[in-house]
Amino acid sequence: MERLKQTHSVQIVWHSFELRPAGSPPISPEYMARIEAMRPQMEKMARDVYGVTIRSGKFGIDSRPA
C-alpha cells in the first residue's frame, strides 16, 4: 500500500469486516476439511511469495466474547 501511495494519488482507508458474522450458518464438515487441507499450501505461499509467517491458532474459535 505504501508503494502504491508513492506512485498514485490514492488515499487508503482501512475498514474491518467479519468474514463469518454472528448468526452465520455453521461450516460443513466437508468445507472445514478442505480449509484444513489447504492450510499448509496457504502458509507456504505466504512465506515464499510475501515473506510472511502465519502463526494461526485453531480455526473456528469464536473470539467475539473477547
Whole domain around residue 44: which residue ranges? 26-56
| pLDDT, position 50 | 94
pTM of the entire structure?
0.57
pLDDT at residue 19, rounded to an integer? 84
> Is residue 27 packed enough to be buried (19+ CB in 10 Å), middle (13-18) or exposed (0-12)?
middle
Give the amino acid at 63. S
Q: What's the total number of domains in the chain?
A: 1
CA distances to 2, 6, 9, 15, 17 from 12, rounded to whole Å, are: 9, 12, 10, 10, 16
Q: Please report whether residue 52 resides in a domain.
A: yes
- Per residue in 28-62, pLDDT (tens digit) is 999 999 999 999 999 999 999 999 999 887 777 77
User: Does a structural domain hold residue 38?
Assistant: yes
| Per-residue model confidence (pLDDT) at position 49 | 96
Model pLDDT for residues 5-27, shown as the tens digit of each residue:
889 998 888 888 888 888 889 99
